Amino acid sequence: VSNAGVGMAGPLECQSLAAMQSLMDTNFFGLVRLVKEVLPDMKRRRGGHIVVISSIMGLQGIVFNDIYAASKFAVEGFCESLVVQALRFNVAISLVEPGPVTTEFETKLYEEAERADYSQTDPETADIFTKLYLRNSKDVFASLGQSPEDIAEHTLRVIEAARPPFRHQTNVAYTPMAALKHADPSGALMTHAFYKLVFKYDAVLRLSLR
Q: How many CB atoms lie within 10 A of CB 22?
A: 13
Helix axis angle, 175-183 to 188-199, nearest 10°: 140
110 has catalytic annotation: no
Which residue, 58, 50, 132, is CA-closest to 91?
50
Classify the phi-psi angles of 93: left when phi > 0, otherwise alpha if psi is within -120 to 50, otherwise beta: beta
Given the residues 68, 133, 174, 201, the one annotated as active site = 68
**Cα separation, 134 vs 124, whole angstroms:** 14
Burial letters 114-149, b for 16+ CB under 10 A, else e? eebebeebeeebbebbbebbbebbebbbeeebbeee
Catalytic residues: 68
